[in-house]
Each structure stands twice: as structure tokens, then as C-alpha cells.
Chains A and B, each alone.
Chain A
Amino acid sequence: MRSPLNSFIEELPSSGIRKFFDIVSEMNDPEVISLGVGEPDFDTPWHVREEGIYSLTKGKTFYSPNAGLKALRDEISRLLDRKYGLSYDPDHEVMVTVGGSEAIDVALRAMLDPGDEVIIPEPAYVSYKPCAILAGGVPRVIDLRNEDDFRLRARDLEAAITDRSKVLLINYPNNPTGAIMEEEDLRPIAELVIKHDLFVVSDEIYSELNYTDKKHVSIASLPGMRERTVVINGFSKAYAMTGWRLGYAAAPRRIMAQMLKIHQYAIMCAPTTAQYAGIEALKNGDPDIEEMRNEYDHRRRYLLKRFRDMGIGCFEAKGAFYVFPDISRFGLSSDEFATELLHSKKLAVVPGTAFGASGEGHLRISYAYSLKDLKRALDRIEEFVAGLSAR
């Protein structure tokens, strides 16, 4: 029998997180605790869930328009303006998607011709590279550095640009590092993008989880960038709505019209129940965000202090809900460190290399856990590194 498979897909490696997850679940040990989860530990706020339930009670169980409910697009457009000073026409420039993940896939498919290069700063969320490949593009990785606080620097971008470069895919606040990019960091990047006639796909899914006094800045808000940027955001992280699968993209009409075609044929529309809940989240969810952010910030500070006290270097992550400590001085690779930590102290964390080669020497620690759990987990790390130092 000939192969039923697309050889291209067969060669695509599976996610590094997945690999580690398999080890953890094979252990099947109730003593194992995890700091590996990339989703909020909070429940979706009750008033939001209630709107979803109410929409079901009323029998609102039909397809929505392809781009999403008009009322939701209106709210998204208002929110982008209110929070980030971005202006998008809800009728032609906003599309509701099945999570931010679909928006990334659709944006890349709409923009890339075969062989076009997608510049991806790493460490990065695990799906960017495969999405670029699936869209016929060629990923070109930039290795970010701890000493730059994992921000993208113009010199590194410039060095990565070739005559096939088309899209720069950035994600700030960042998973897995917790890094952010402030306006002064984005400005030189935007200048290069314009100079080299590139486009940006900006995954801003963690935009509400920024722990500085300044607000999140979208690269699309910089001069000349709106027409070159697809902004991707969603409900999963800000409103603790991961399982609802609700995200969105905002882009200039010329790009959005093509993205909408792909979405129309492949997906039809995002889940209607989730969309009704999403309207409520955007209308009345600001206090929920504030409360969760506050709580995350307490945990973030607590972790940074614990790592400092243990003598483990950890740059000050200012966004998302991850810290990315540097464990290179213990002479183990991040994979070995995470594996030994799992087996000897029954604590699961994700090795930095799951997010690209430049994650080597680091671990991704999620603080989407209660302080009580974090304390217990950090005690285990402390014991573990004390054992390593005594070797």
C-alpha cells in the first residue's frame, strides 16, 4: 500500500511540550505536581459563564456570521481603541476566530507565498514554526538572549532579513519567557519593518497581563504600522476562557478580506455560545482582569524573589504568567534538569528547549497556580538545587 500521508506533515516534529507531557502522564504518580500549565487557574468569571448559559437557554445555537456576531465585533473594535488606541472597522477589519491559534494559522496562510520567509524570534510559542511551514513558508529563527531580557533587538532583526523575508511574527508579552516589549523597543523594529517592506503578525494574547505601570503597546499603533500588521488577540488569557476557544484578528481590509475567505471555508464561524459569553466579557470584564492581574503579579514577585534567594538567575519577567529562570550554571541541559527534577522531586516544569534552541539553559515556570502550590513547588526546586550544588 502506498503511504496515505502527506510526507511534509510526517516530517513535522511534534511539540516539545507534548513530549514532556507524555513522560509526566506515563509516571501516573499522584505525588507529581506541575508548574507546566499554560492556562489560567481561575474559572471564567461567573457573569460571563452565565451569559453563555443564557444564550443556550434562549436557543441561540445557530451559526453566526463568518466574521462573528456583529455585536461582538463592535465590542472588539471598541476595546482595541479603548485599550491600545487602535482603530479598526468592525464590519471589514475584525474577525472572530477559534482561539488566537486559528487567527495565527489563517493570517500566515493568507499572507505567504511558497518559499516566503517568516522571521520568528525564539524562544517562542510552539505552534508558530509549524504554522509557518504548513502555510508554505520558511521559518527563519532569531535567537533571543537573556541579557536582552528576551526582547527583540533591531540588530538581530536586521541580520535575519533576506530578500525572501515577508512576515515578522512576534509575541509580546511572551510565552514562554514572560518578556515584554515597550514602545521604545518596538520603534526601531517598526522602522526596519517599513524599510524592508515587511509585514507583522503580532500575537498579543497576553496583552492584559503586563505588570509594569505602562500599558501594553501594540506595534500596530506605531506610525505606518497599521497597514502592515495583523493583530491577534483573544479571550483565553485575559478572561480565563481557554476552553471556550475564542479569539480574534484585526487587520487592514485588504488582508482581512483574504483571511476571512480561509476562515469561511475551513471553520465557518467560531462557537456561537462562546461569542455571546465574549460580548459580556468585553463589556463588563475589566474588574475581573484587574483582580486576576493583581493576583498573578503577587505570584510573579514571589517567584522572582524565591529564585533570587536560591541564587538562580532569573530576569525580571514583566508579562504573561511565566518566569524563565536560567539554570545553566548547574551543568545540566534544560531537558536533563527538567527530567531529573521530575523524577527525583516529582515536579513537572517545561524545559526551555521546548520553545526553541535558544531556550537552552532555561526552564519555563508557569505561575497559573495558587501561592500555596507555588510555595510547595519552589521548596522542591530548592531541595533539588541544594542537592545539585552538593554533588
Chain B
Amino acid sequence: MREKILDILEKNAKFGASEIAAMLGEDEDRVAAEIERLEDEHVICGYRTVINWNRTDEEKADAFIEVKVSPQRGVGFDQIAERIWQYPEVSSIQLISGSFDFAVFIQGRSMREVAMFVSEKLSTIDGVLSTSTQFVLKNYKDHGILIEGPKKDERLELS
């Protein structure tokens, strides 16, 4: 049942225990308890909403920053990662294989704000060797969700 619940919630976190129970043919209380366990065990780490900010009056600038660092004896990459994730501007950070070390995603109110953050905060952290900032120009698909929405149902109304 665990994997089935996770499967459903990964696609749509809005489903509640009663709906999931109906979909799986399970008891509602058992599903609710299992979800709570998954949260306690931090298998479910949190819930977020995918928002198309372009359809609001709010300005947002997203950037993806390649960060090269020199790992430190004993703690490897983790200590620098921690220095970076402390900033609320950082929405995600991952250690990456390949030509750079961290992929850091940042959301700010403007490109200038993001650029200032990178030059003043991120690149001055001890152990950070270089950064390369890529601004997001257009978001097409995020977490499996089409940003401009699903296409219109073109099927005949009855068939």
C-alpha cells in the first residue's frame, strides 16, 4: 500500500486520505495512518504547489547556477552544501556528477536580485571556486506538469 500511496501523491498531493482510500479500495483510517507514518519517517518530505507565476501580477526570476567547489577533508561536500542551503533564496541544491559540483536553483523577484545574490553571497562562500548563472527564460514542464496547462479535450462528447 505504501508505494501505491506514494505513487498517487507524487502525481497529485491534493488527494486526501478518503479519496486515496477510495481509489485503492482500502480503509480510510488505514490510509490516513500510513500517510502520517510516511511523513514521520520523512519519506514524504513535504508538499508543494507548481505555480505558473507568469499568469499572476507577481514578478519572478528563476535561475539555475552551476557551482564548482573544492571539497574539504573529512566533510567532503556536505559542509559547503549546508552553507549554501541556509539561504532562503535557494529553492534546491543537488550534488551532481560531471563538470561541476552543485546544481543550485534560485528564485528571486528579478534577475538583478538573483545576480546580486550570486555575486555577493554564493560566490564569496569559502570553498566555492566558480559559479555560472543560467536564467530560466520560459518554463514548459515542471515536475511532470505542463505549465501552460493540459490541452483541450477534443473527443466527441458521446461515443
A interface vs B, CB < 8 Å? 17, 20-21, 24-25, 32, 34, 36-39, 41, 298-299, 301-302, 305-306, 348, 350, 371, 375
Contact in complex: B158, A21 (CB < 8 Å): yes
Contact in complex: A39, B23 (CB < 8 Å): no
B interface vs A, CB < 8 Å? 8, 15, 19, 22-25, 153, 155-159
- Complexed CA–CA distance, A375 and B157 (Å): 18
Contact in complex: B19, A24 (CB < 8 Å): no
- Which chain B positions have C-beta within 8 A of A32? 157
* Chain A to chain B contacts (Cβ below 8 Å), 29 pairs: A17-B159, A21-B156, A21-B157, A21-B158, A21-B159, A24-B157, A24-B158, A32-B157, A34-B157, A34-B158, A36-B158, A36-B159, A37-B156, A39-B155, A39-B159, A41-B155, A298-B8, A298-B23, A298-B24, A301-B23, A301-B25, A302-B19, A302-B22, A302-B23, A305-B25, A348-B157, A348-B158, A350-B158, A371-B19
- Which chain B positions have C-beta within 8 A of A41? 153, 155
- Complexed CA–CA distance, A166 and B90 (Å): 73
- Contacting residue for B158 out of A37, A302, A305, A375, CB 8 A: A37
- Contacting residue for A305 out of B8, B22, B153, B157, CB 8 A: B22
- Which chain B positions have C-beta within 8 A of A25? 157
- Which chain A positions have C-beta within 8 A of B24? 298, 301
- How many whole Å from B50's CB to the nearest CB in chain A? 15
- Complexed CA–CA distance, A32 and B19 (Å): 24
Query: Which 3 residue pairs are nearest across A and B when measured between Cβ atoms?
Result: A36-B158, A298-B23, A21-B158
Interface centre among A38, A302, A375 (most CB of B within 10 A): A302
- Complexed CA–CA distance, A348 and B22 (Å): 24
- Which chain A positions have C-beta within 8 A of B8? 298
Name A's interface SS.
helix
Contact in complex: B158, A17 (CB < 8 Å): yes
- How many whole Å from B149's CB to the nearest CB in chain A? 13
- Which chain A positions have C-beta within 8 A of B155? 37, 39, 41
- Which chain A positions have C-beta within 8 A of B159? 17, 21, 36-39
Closest to B20 in A: A298
- How many whole Å from A2's CB to the nearest CB in chain B? 36
- How many whole Å from B66's CB to the nearest CB in chain A? 29
- Complexed CA–CA distance, A301 and B27 (Å): 12
Closest to B12 in A: A371
Interface centre among A17, A298, A301, A348 (most CB of B within 10 A): A298
- Complexed CA–CA distance, A41 and B157 (Å): 12
- Which chain A positions have C-beta within 8 A of B23? 298-299, 301-302, 371
- Which chain B positions have C-beta within 8 A of A348? 157-158
Closest to A211 in B: B25
- How many whole Å from A385's CB to the nearest CB in chain B? 18
- Complexed CA–CA distance, A21 and B159 (Å): 8
- Which chain B positions have C-beta within 8 A of A350? 158
Contact in complex: A36, B22 (CB < 8 Å): no
- Which chain B positions have C-beta within 8 A of A24? 157-158
Interface centre among A17, A37, A348 (most CB of B within 10 A): A37
- Complexed CA–CA distance, A193 and B63 (Å): 69
- Complexed CA–CA distance, A230 and B113 (Å): 69
- Which chain B positions have C-beta within 8 A of A298? 8, 23-24
- Complexed CA–CA distance, A27 and B15 (Å): 33
- How many whole Å from B133's CB to the nearest CB in chain A? 32
Contact in complex: A20, B158 (CB < 8 Å): yes
Contact in complex: B157, A306 (CB < 8 Å): no
- Complexed CA–CA distance, A382 and B15 (Å): 20
Given A298-B24, A301-B25, A36:B19 Cβ within 8 A: no
- Which chain B positions have C-beta within 8 A of A37? 155-159
Closest to A36 in B: B158
- Which chain A positions have C-beta within 8 A of B156? 21, 37
- Which chain A positions have C-beta within 8 A of B15? 371
Interface centre among A41, A299, A305 (most CB of B within 10 A): A305
- How many whole Å from B154's CB to the nearest CB in chain A? 10
Closest to A297 in B: B23
- Which chain A positions have C-beta within 8 A of B19? 302, 371, 375
- Complexed CA–CA distance, A371 and B159 (Å): 20
- Complexed CA–CA distance, A306 and B21 (Å): 12
- Complexed CA–CA distance, A302 and B23 (Å): 5
- How many whole Å from B141's CB to the nearest CB in chain A? 13
Interface centre among B22, B24, B157, B158 (most CB of A within 10 A): B158
Closest to B159 in A: A38
Closest to B23 in A: A298
- Which chain A positions have C-beta within 8 A of B158? 17, 20-21, 24, 34, 36-38, 348, 350
Closest to B26 in A: A301
13 extra A-B contacts, CB within 8 A, seeds A24-B157, A299-B23, A305-B25: A17-B159, A21-B156, A25-B157, A34-B157, A36-B158, A37-B159, A38-B159, A39-B155, A301-B25, A348-B157, A348-B158, A371-B15, A371-B19
Closest to B151 in A: A43
